[in-house]
Amino acid sequence: MAHKAVFFDRDGVLNIDKAYLYKIDELEWIEGALEAITYLTQSGYLVFVVTNQSGIARGYYTVAEMEKLHQYMSDT
């Protein structure tokens, strides 16, 4: 069974790109991003977010902290 899907990069596409974003209170959505995701989801698309978080490798934050932000973004 085939599915329609859209892949979004996170920083600079869905949220304003801030250096090493992992704190929920620093998240700022790009205008129209949430509406676009809602539209695509309602139109039957699977929506995936891809991101390369070098801040984890640099020790600025943990995988758990990133996952907390991503869960918040998903729940919004």
Q: Looking at residue 53, which CATH number applies to its domain?
A: 3.40.50.1000
Instruction: Tell me the mean pLDDT in the region 19-35.
Output: 97
- Is residue 10 within 8 A of residue 49, CB to CB? The reply is yes
pLDDT for residue 22: 96
pLDDT digits 0-9 by tens, 40-64? 999 999 999 999 999 999 999 999 9
* Nearest CA-CA partner of 64 in 16, 22, 17, 20: 22
- Catalytic residue check, 75: no
9, 17, 25, 75: the catalytic one is 9
Q: Is 14 exposed, middle or buried (0-12, 13-18, 19+ CB in 10 A)?
A: buried
Full residue range of the structural domain in which residue 34 is found: 4-75
Please state the pTM of the whole predicted model. Answer: 0.86
Confidence of residue 2 (pLDDT cuts 50, 70, 90): confident
- Catalytic residue check, 17: no
Instruction: Tell me the mean pLDDT in the region 17-23.
Output: 94
How many domains, in total, are found in the chain? 1
